[in-house]
Structure 1
Amino acid sequence: MDNRFNVTYITFDGHVEVHKYRYLYFVIMFTMYILIISSNFTIVSIIVIHKSLHEPMYIFIAALLINSVLFSTVIYPKLLIDFLSEKQIISYPACLFQWFSYYSLAGSEFFLLSVMAYDRYVSICNPLQYSTIMRKTTVNMFLICAWILPACQVLVPILLSVKKTICKFHLKGILCNSTVHKLHCVSSRLLHIYGLVVFVTSVLFPVLFIFFTYTRILVISYRCRGVRRKAAQTCLPHLLVLINFSCLIAYDVLLARLELDVPITLRLIMALQIVTYQPLLIQSFMD
């Protein structure tokens, strides 16, 4: 607590040998961040410039890439500052903002992946009705919902947490995520239950929907030899990336609720996997 400005600061305890390897960490993460921004915006620029790519599939890809940049921007700049700082701290309001942005954008990621799966399902399974179903208004509605709905879901626990008193000032991690609950003096059962509901609706349901649509695509493609190989090459890499990200997010969300005593090194590795997930996603969708 800084009494001069009445601001509460939270200390990150998830860094491993940060004082010893701070410059190595900084160079690696800074390089990764620049690659994410440059590669994503290059592809988005290509989609914007070429009118032949102004199709729903490419519009959703551009939205996913923009979301990836926003997701990375919520994490990377603060990480880079922490690597070069003597103390890895963050104000409590800024921590809540990072928590909100982190999970709302992660939810948007799953929503956009679901929409992309639906788009491909319609194009392969109902090609004659594709132009009727995937109209411009429909695409715009999907894009708006992709960012608005997850943000509204995550905003509820944030507003509840603002009113809560915190008694702990150390987070066992490198960013503000679901472990913020552990800072509160009194644990809220309502917050835990609501968090699980959001996890089911924002992660589990989209994952099941994507598996269903891609299974239908593969079944139909299996009957048509002309598109069987192309469909397999398109769907299978995306499913592998989806499974990877889903497992990481599930670990991140359930970590605070199960109260597991996870070694600090493993926590750091898992957190960095989430941070570096974006380039893997981009390469998979653009292959």
Structure 2
Amino acid sequence: MNNVSLVNIFILTGFNGMINHRVTLFSLTLLYYCLILFFNISLIIIIILDENLHEPMYVLLCSFCINGLYGTTGFYPKFLFDLLSSSQEISYEGCLLQAFIMYSFACCDLSILAVMAYDRYLAICRPLHYHSFMSKRRLSQLVCFSWLTPLCIFSINVLLTSRLKLCALHIKKLFCANWIIVKLSCPEADTFSNTVVAYITIIVYLSHGFFIIWTYMHLIRTCVTSKDDRVKFMQTCVPHLVSLATFIFVIISDLMYMRFGSTDLPQSLQNFIAIEFLLIPPLMNPLIYGFKLTKIRNRILCLVQDGRN
């Protein structure tokens, strides 16, 4: 059987009903995307240029912000273009690329959060061994792990999807998603491998979640008996917990809706649920860490004062 897809382009039907407000949506989205770029790039530059911030926690935060730029760049430019276009289409190859970026971005976020939890566990629960455990080499390995794991896993996912013969071209979202593409496959297409890899991916990232829970159980147990550790926990772990809670909420909302959601919901609400993970975390994370972490907040205040003088 010839496995070449019968589909060369996809039509993004999530834009239906938005055309009458395209100028307003374009203006607000462009402004929002510029804010995401400004805050994430600013935090990255501050961490890179300030040698006092060349510590594992801030290096991981820098990686977090870079991933935010990576994910949003895979969505917002195309979304802005579609708002001004007469037809909301995306090529077959472009759709696979966007699906790869969306999924790898989301899972890279969770991988980085897991590594950040490990870093906080060592800093608070094993302070005497922190620098020996979290050496530059170990930090480099952890950063590579947080990026390469999702990139490799979703390369396999997208490669398997690219082998399917597709018989439909309407995607009921604002962007391409791997599972949506799989569901567009022809009745005779074999999607067993895609399903197996999808479940393996879920298991891998559930293990990330369980690891984060395990680290925070130890963190809380340690902080209960030490006032100094409680202060350190409030200063450095609260932003991480807020980022984690936000990530879990928006991802579960999207996954639950994708699998079980009702098509009777207004299209605008469906769109909002689908892009929550591209709206909230990329802007909220740099703001939370920028204002909560003392060293970064002080550095920002110094820059503001120097600018005024």
Tell me, in whole angstroms, the C-alpha distance in 1 between the residues paired with 2:169 and 2:153.
26
Deviation at 1:237, TM superposition (A): 4.4
Summarize deviations over 1:169-218 as a string: whole Å, max 9, x none: 1011000113122211136133123213212312x222222122123212
Q: Is the 8 A contact 1:7 1:91 kept in 2?
A: no
Please name the residue that 1:134 is paired with: 134
From the superposition, tell whether residues 208 and 38 of structure 1 become closer, same or farther in structure 2 (CA, over 3 Å).
same
2:47/2:58 contact within 8 Å kept: yes
Which of 270, 275, 285 is the matching residue for 2:278? 275
Alignment of 1:98-109 (within 5 A): 98-109=98-109
Q: Equivalent residue for 2:57?
A: 57
Mapped contact 1:214–1:235 kept (Cα < 8 A): no
The Cα of 1:44 is off from its aligned counterpart by 1.0
Per-residue deviation at 1:259?
7.1
Partner of 1:3: none
Question: 1:244 offset after TM fit, Å?
Answer: 2.7
Contact 1:16 1:265 survives alignment (8 Å)? no
The CA deviation string for residues 219-266 of structure 1, in whole angstroms up to 9 with x for no partner, is: 211211233244135434432432332232234345554475462233
Q: 1:271 to 1:82 in 2, by over 3 A?
A: same
Q: Indicate if the aligned counterparts of 2:124 and 2:232 stay in contact, CA closer than 8 A.
A: no
Equivalent position amino acid for 1:195 in 2: A
Gap regions ≥5 residues in structure 1: 1-5
- Name the stretch that deviates more: 109-118 or 276-285: 276-285
Question: Residue 11 of structure 1 contacts residue 169 of structure 1 at CA under 8 Å; is this kept in 2?
Answer: yes
Following the alignment from structure 1 to structure 2, what is the Cα–Cα distance between the partners of residues 262 and 197?
A: 31
Q: Residues 64 and 135 of structure 1: is their aligned pair in 2 closer, same or farther, counting only changes over 3 Å?
A: same
Deviations 1:27-57 (A, max 9, x none): 1111111111111111111111111111111
Counterparts of residues 26-45 of structure 1 (less than 5 Å): 26-45=26-45
2:229 corresponds to 1:232: no
User: CA–CA distance in 2 between the matches of 1:259 and 1:268?
Assistant: 12
- How much has 1:137 moved relative to structure 2? 0.6
Which has the larger displacement, 267-276 or 89-98? Answer: 267-276
- Greater CA drift, 218-227 or 60-69: 218-227
Counterpart contact for 2:47–2:62, Cα < 8 Å: yes
Normalization by structure 2: what TM-score? 0.85
Q: Secondary structure at the match of 1:14?
A: helix
SS in 2 for 1:285: helix
For the structure 1 residues 247 and 196, does the alpha-carbon distance in structure 2 shift closer, same or farther, using more than 3 Å as the test? farther
Identity %: 30
> Which deviations, in whole Å up to 9, do the C-alpha atoms of 1:136-176 show, x marking residues without a partner?
11111111121111111111121112121111110110001
Closer/same/farther in 2, CA of residues 262 and 57 from structure 1, 3 Å limit: farther
Instruction: State the one-letter code of the partner of 1:235.
Output: C
SS of the residue 1:11 aligns to: strand
Residue matched to 1:209: 211
Further displaced range: 240-249 or 270-279: 240-249
Q: Which residue of 1 aligns with 2:19?
A: 19
Contact 1:167–1:183 (CA under 8 A) maintained in structure 2: yes
Confirm whether residue 199 of structure 1 aligns to residue 227 of structure 2: no
Structure 2 gap segments, 5+ residues each: 1-5, 293-309
Q: Which residue of 2 aligns with 1:82?
A: 82
CA gap 1:172/1:252 in 2 versus in 1, 3 angstroms: same
Residues 73-112 of structure 1, C-alpha deviation per residue, up to 9 Å, x if partnerless? 0011010001111111100110000001111121111111
Q: 1:75 to 1:136 in 2, by over 3 A?
A: same
TM-score by length of 1: 0.91
Name the stretch that deviates more: 272-281 or 250-259: 250-259
Task: State how far apart, in whole Å, the 2-side matches of 1:210 and 1:49 are.
Answer: 30
- Size of the aligned set, in residue pairs, is 281
